[in-house]
Amino acid sequence: MDISPTGKVPVLKVSKSILFESGVINEYLDEAYGIPLHPKDLIEKAHNRAWMEYINSFNIFFFQIIMAKDKEAGNNAINELKKQFLGLEKVVKAPWFNGENYSMVDVSVAPIFVRLSFVKKSFDIDLLDELPKCRQWSDHLLERQSVIESVVDGFNYILLEKLKANESWLIT
């Protein structure tokens, strides 16, 4: 955390430079290494970036859900996040966001799907139950090896302990 200018993770040290914020790090890695995950067409690429920015706002709602102190506040946050997913439901193609090609949009949404899977398994709350395209997308993404390997060991335990420490409505 000492090297992060914002005090948050993730950070990536490249030579003497520090990169921070997930989206920026993802963009750097996409351009610096491997097969590009953005479409070649500039309009499609811009479209993808717009959806990545949209997805970034989901984190706020997710943390409102898990950190709410009472059921009413938790349910309000759930409803807000479901509304956000309705936008994606209208545009997602199968099996990935862009159809057959895994993209940076998929990379961007993976952490949210991992967290929603935790909530579903731990508390029987399925935020994607009325969103069949997003459900299929989530299921497919959560089976991807790179996504599985990106989740730190003990993630569910760590998150559960955080909920307990913050007296989340989900625990009480």
Is residue 11 included in any domain, yes or no? no
Determine the pLDDT at residue 18.
87
- Averages of pLDDT over runs of 10 residues in the chain (172 residues) are 74 87 84 88 96 94 94 96 96 94 96 96 95 97 96 94 94 85
- Does 16 map to a domain? no
Q: Is residue 49 part of a domain?
A: no
Total domains, the chain: 1
Whether residue 153 is contained in a domain is answered as yes
> Is residue 37 domain-resident?
no
What the block records as the tokens of 92 is 């997602």
Domain enclosing residue 91, as ranges: 57-165
d(CA 20, CA 80): 27
Q: Within a domain: residue 26?
A: no
Show the tokens assigned to 40: 């070649």
User: Which tokens is 72 given?
Assistant: 């009413």
Global pTM value: 0.89
Residue 113 carries which side chain, given as an amino acid letter? F
Residue 99 located in a structural domain: yes
Task: Write the CATH number for 133.
Answer: 1.20.1050.10
